[in-house]
Amino acid sequence: MDGGAAASQETTAASGGATPPVATVGVRIHHSRRLPDFLQSVNLKYVKLGYHYLISNLLTLCLVPLMVIIIVEVSQMNPNDVRQLWLHLQYNLVSVIICSAFLVFGSTVYIMNRPRPVYLVDYSCYRPPDSLMAPFDRFMEHSRLQGDFDESSLEFQRKILERSGLGDETYVPEAMHFIPPRPSMQAAREEAEQVMFGALDNLFANTNVKPKEIGVLVVNCSLFNPTPSLSAMIVNKYKLRGNIRSFNLGGMGCSAGVIAVDLAKDMLQVHRNTYAVVVSMENITQNWYFGNKKSMLIPNCLFRVGGAAVLLSNKAGDRRRAKYKLVHVVRTHKGADDKAFRCVYQEQDDAGKTGVSLSKDLMAIAGGALKTNITTLGPLVLPISEQLLFFATLVIKKLFNKNVKPYIPDFKLAFDHFCIHAGGRAVIDELEKNLQLLPVHVEASRMTLHRFGNTSSSSIWYELAYIEAKGRMRRGNRVWQIAFGSGFKCNSAVWEALRSVKPSRNGPWHDCIDRYPVKVVS
């Protein structure tokens, strides 16, 4: 369980540090501009838009006149010219046959060895019962009655909650609702079972897929790794087949959901005509911090109960009913750097109490990981117009003026929707600013944080469910899921909608989507 690059700014703000507090969620201050400046910005916008369409359709614009010229020339040929061309081809029949054979052979090799498409048939997000809700007032009252926290720690938690972007309807495990709390191995197992089995039951019901049809199972949970494993618990519960390829990923933080998808994708390239299930979750029961070290108190305020189950397929027949096709997965690992490795670190405090400590360098490290990730992702997804602008700016900076700012590609031209890991308000604010996104692009992330809190690796699926529940997902739309995690890692997954997607039955937003978006004021 890691802060997902969420709380570095929140920590310093709450403890009187020098870092200025980030902007309030939902609040935007618009400065009035003069009319000529406004008209100039509008003109520049349309100039850039025209440039983008011109470069994107340059090949078409060049080919159309060429085709017209060829058609005109052919139409003007006399019968004798046509007869001469046919005789020439007859005399070179051997060459034609050899070229055709090479063409057929090459096409066959390509078709046989090309990566198999991976389809996302459906997914399900766990919705805890209302009895597990933890409003701010109840959270603070329980923290006070536990007797583990001093006044300074209680005040720190109160400030974090006020600035976190979380609402009053998030969930904490049942063991944390008792006074004193009752964390135990049994309680942790029960939390894991409720989340995993709740999501999987709904997934199997919505897809009509039988558990025996599952060929690959990947489970990721960072901090709770019992024996037998969580994947073994699922195999036992649903009586999965004996030759299933099962994997249990631990200690990989909030970005492990994308890692799990990447592993499942690789397995589906090897094993034909089968299904893969990915279960992403975190376990809070045994990982609540009961000490007074402020950098270790933040996860208590941000992390909440949640999980998701995803059904992937490599069957050609599933394309008709699948929601999405997996386009790209890009993974970035900065663990070779000591600061990055220790910025989210599970350890004991001076009193011997275990927790996850978040470094003050977290946001800077997350920014570096993001930069590396999008440097790899950009050429795969950005239109050629943006790549040319980036390259031209780089050349100008190198050759003429070192003070030229690097061009920030417009990822809004590559993606229709953004699912930014809801690790905390700070990370959403930073990506909105650095990627020059609009409020609508980060709405799903902000509202997921408000309604469900930081559900670790599963948060990107609650965000995707929000977009679907709002009726915004259209055929051909591209979605960018991006997550940060301990290690330190930044991972991206790109999906393409195969149809206009409607929300699945019993989705996490089914009874509350009409209330969103909401303004969150601290």
Higher-pLDDT residue of 98, 220: 220
Contact 83, 465 (CB under 8 A): no
- What pLDDT does residue 393 have? 76
Instruction: Summarize pLDDT for 351-361 with one digit per residue, the tens.
Output: 999 999 999 88
Residues 118-130, mean pLDDT to the nearest whole number: 97
Specify whether domain 8-19+118-515 bears CATH 3.40.47.10.
yes
- Sort strands 245-249 and 275-281 into parallel, antiparallel or unpaired: unpaired
> Considering 421, 477, 490, 491, which one is annotated as catalytic?
421
- What pLDDT does residue 106 have? 77
3-state secondary structure 377-413: HHHHHCCHHHHHHHHHHHHHHHHCCCCCCCCCCCHHH
Query: Among 55-59, 160-164, 200-204, 387-391, which is the least confidently predicted range?
Result: 55-59
Residues 386-390, mean pLDDT to the nearest whole number: 79
What band does 19 get if pLDDT is binned at 50, 70 and 90? very low
How many of the other CB atoms lie within 10 Å of CB of 395? 11
Quick one: how far is CA 207 from the chain centroid? Answer: 23
Query: Among 55-64, 253-262, 402-411, which is the least confidently predicted range?
Result: 55-64
Does the pLDDT value for residue 336 go beyond 50?
yes
Which 3 state secondary structure label does DSSP give 281?
Answer: strand
Closest CA to 421 of 142, 219, 165, 104: 165
Q: Provide φ and ψ at 321, rounded to 5°.
A: -110, -5
> Considering 220, 248, 373, 450, which one is annotated as catalytic?
450
- Sort strands 417-420 and 119-125 into parallel, antiparallel or unpaired: unpaired
- Sort strands 478-485 and 489-497 into parallel, antiparallel or unpaired: antiparallel
Instruction: Summarize pLDDT for 217-256 with one digit per residue, the tens.
Output: 999 999 999 999 999 999 999 999 999 999 999 999 999 9
Active site residue 417: yes
3-state secondary structure 402-452: CCCCCCCCCHHHCCCEEEECCCCHHHHHHHHHHCCCCHHHCHHHHHHHHHH
What band does 97 get if pLDDT is binned at 50, 70 and 90? confident
Active site residue 510: no
- What pLDDT does residue 100 have? 78
Instruction: Summarize pLDDT for 479-510 with one digit per residue, the tens.
Output: 999 999 998 999 999 999 999 999 999 999 99
> Considering 125, 202, 220, 254, which one is annotated as catalytic?
254
> Considering 292, 314, 454, 477, which one is annotated as catalytic?
454
- What pLDDT does residue 130 have? 95
> Considering 333, 343, 441, 490, which one is annotated as catalytic?
333
Active site residue 88: no
- What pLDDT does residue 410 have? 87
Rounded distance between C-alpha atoms, residue 239 and residue 233, angstroms: 10
> Considering 202, 301, 314, 417, which one is annotated as catalytic?
417
Residue type, 341: F
Q: What share of the chain in percent tops pLDDT 90?
A: 67
Q: What stretch of H or E contains 99? A: helix 93-113
- What pLDDT does residue 401 have? 67
How many of the other CB atoms lie within 10 Å of CB of 381? 20
End-to-end CA distance of the chain: 25
| Contacts with 271 (C-beta within 8 Å, 6 or more apart), sequence order | 215, 216, 245, 314
Residue type, 518: V
User: Would you state the structure tokens that stand for residue 87, as one six-digit string?
Assistant: 């005789």
What band does 73 get if pLDDT is binned at 50, 70 and 90? low
Largest CA distance in the chain: 101
| Contacts with 345 (C-beta within 8 Å, 6 or more apart), sequence order | 356, 357, 359, 486
- What pLDDT does residue 43 have? 47
What band does 458 get if pLDDT is binned at 50, 70 and 90? very high
Q: What stretch of H or E contains 137? A: helix 136-146
DSSP state of 518: -
- What pLDDT does residue 399 have? 75
Active site residue 301: no
Please identify which residue in the block is written with the tokens 């700014």.
Answer: 9
